[in-house]
Every structure is written in C-alpha cells, then in structure tokens.
Structure 1
Amino acid sequence: MTNALVSVEPARMSKEGLSVRKVAIIGSPGAGKSTFARRLGDITGIEVYHLDRLFWKPGWVGTPREEWKTLQQQLIQNESWIMDGHYGATMDIRIQAADTVIFLDFPRRVCLWRIAKRVIRYRGQIRPDMAEGCPEKVDFDFIRYAWGFRRREQARIVQRLEEARREGKQVVRLSTRQQVERYLAGLQSF
C-alpha cells in the first residue's frame, strides 16, 4: 500500500465549508462502514444512504443488477450524499461520482470480531442500517466472504483508489479505531 492511501487527515475545507459533499465508504464486512457513515452524517449534516438497506428486499432478496445500477446512478445525482457499502460490482459508480473515498481497511480479525458482536447484538432483529424484513443473520458463505475479503479485493481496491487520487479525489484509508476517531474529531473541530 502506498503512502498516498494512508491519509487520515480530515476533509479539505474552503471558505464555503466542507469540500466533502459526496462520500463513498468502502471496506470489508465488519469494518464499521455503516457506523462510520452515521457518525460522518451527524457531523456534516449530509444524508446517509446505507446500501444494504437499499439493496435487500424483505426476506433477503437482492435487487436485480440493472435496477441496482440504475438506483445508484440516480442517487449520485444528488447534490451531496454519504454511501456506505462495498458492493464491488458497482463500486466504480460511486467512486467516479464521489469527491471523497474512505476505505476502512481493518484487519480480518477485527472485522470478524465485529461481525460476531453484531450477530449477538441484533440476533433476530433488524439492524438500523438494514432493510425491513431482513433480520440479522450470518451464514457460512458470508463468513467465508469476510475471511477472504482482503486476499480477493485488496489489490483491486488499492489500484482503483490510486486512480481516484490521481483524478483529484480525496482518498482516505483508515486501519485503526484511533485513526477513525482522529479523522472524525478533525471534522468536528471545523
């Protein structure tokens, strides 16, 4: 990972306020994307779109691919937004439209621990960032996906984020809770 992606500085500021208006938050399951998005939305006042809530229909039925792409293409037209969710097949839609991309790049053990805590906390309930009719559940395929996320996705993510940085986008990689707290505290100080 190059140093260019290790930024933990808060968002750029201008006389008009935050230059951050369109934020894509990506990372492994259990990285804390939804929690981070909520906190960032509270600080900035920007509307948060939890992609899991939009993708899943009651009974854990996924949105058809073309409909999913169309929905995201509509959302990115808004003046400002925060979208959390990885969804690798459509990630580029969000990155191209974003002015800021935040990559929560936590170690696998941290992500799996957070998934376990989430399952216990929301057992039989619907998480705040999840669609109605989709109570918390974890199966072997989901654990396997989370376990292999870095091995499968890391190189492609890093390459795409390097491209985004060269395109002038603010790219932030946060790998520890302390970095997350420092980043958010930096935004609150403005």
Structure 2
Amino acid sequence: MDLTRTLIIGNSGAGKSWLARRLAERLDAPWVELDRIHWLSDEHSIPRTRGEAMGMARLAASRERWVIEGVYDVFVRELLDRATALIWLRIADAECVTNIRQRERGTPPDDPRMAAMLAWAAGYRDRDGADGWAAHRQLFEGFAGEKVVLWERGEIIRLAGSA
C-alpha cells in the first residue's frame, strides 16, 4: 500500500490520531490533525471560518508526503484527489466511547464538553450529515486509490508496525 499521502477517517475515539502519529513517524512525513485545522480554540468550541480552515487543509495536502486524519468529511473530500491511500477505522462505537474516557481521564464526569464528545462518538453510525458513518462509507466507496478498513485495535496496531 502506497502510504505517501494517507488520509485516515473514522469515529472520534477510533484511534485516528494514534495511528496517524505512528505512520507519520515511520514515513518521515508531517502528521496533520483536522481538529487543529477546524477548531480555532483548544477547547473545541470556536471553529475557524470555513475558508480559512479549507485553505489550511489544502496547504497541508500540497506537500509531497503527509498523513492527515480527522472526521470532517468536508475537508477529506477536498483532499481525496491528492491522497495515495485512505484508511477507515470502523471500530465499534462503544469501544470509541471507552477510548475517549481513557484518553480524557481526569476530566470531571460532569464536564459538558466531555458529555458532548461521548454522545458524538456514541451516535456515529446514526448521525446524519457529513461527519457520520454514512458519509464516511460514501467517501470510502468512492475513493479510487488504495484503501483499507480496519475493524479492531489489533489491525490498527499491525498496520502501524508494518508501515
């Protein structure tokens, strides 16, 4: 699989960042988190303007090598033509929720942002719109390049180790 310019999609908590970081290190390529492009603040409450964020995404994808990950269909669609590989992490929603809880240990259980993030991950397969399972399926099916679906953590770990 040619991972020179890899896009990774999937639910929040599926392991996109974990995999992207490891692939980028092994490939000596920049790792780009679409969350950092989409959100202006670290608290994920203030989005950038669509034009500014899209410009940043296009600039990142203009490089010769990269690993870009995120849930945002609108950016991924824009970058697909430059990608050499597409990886879809289709981890069970319940596992994604558990992963978020582990990742966010120390966050107060009544934190409204945490509750929103958990609800977001739990609703991935039922969510309408650009950032849900159906939109990702459509992206994946329409991609003409090399692609793979990873269903469980072990498959993600193996891919990270073999790149």
TM-score, structure 2 as length reference: 0.85
2:31 is the counterpart of 1:52 = no
Equivalent of 2:147, from 165, 171, 183? 171
Moved over 4 A (4+): none
| Corresponding pairs, count | 155
Distance (whole Å) between structure 2 residues aligned to residue 138 and residue 35 of structure 1: 21
Equivalent of 2:157, from 181, 184, 189? 181
Q: Cα RMSD between the aligned structures?
A: 2.1
Distance (whole Å) between structure 1 residues aligned to residue 112 and residue 65 of structure 2: 32
1:137 is displaced (CA, Å) by 7.5
State the identity as a percent.
25
Unaligned stretches of 5+ in structure 1? 1-10, 12-18, 125-135
1:186 is displaced (CA, Å) by 2.5
- Whether contact under 8 Å (2:9, 2:136) holds in the other structure is no
Larger Cα-atom Rg: 1
TM-score, structure 1 as length reference: 0.73
Unaligned stretches of 5+ in structure 2? none
- Residue type at the aligned position of 2:105: I
- Residue type at the aligned position of 1:147: A
Which runs of structure 2 are paired with 1:33-182 in the superposition (5 Å)? 33-58=16-41, 59-60=43-44, 61-120=46-105, 123=107, 138-152=113-127, 153-164=132-143, 167=144, 169-182=145-158
* Residues 88-140 of structure 1, C-alpha deviations (whole Å, 9 max, x = no match): 2222012232110111110011100011011115x49xxxxxxxxxxx98343
Distance (whole Å) between structure 2 residues aligned to residue 137 and residue 32 of structure 1: 22
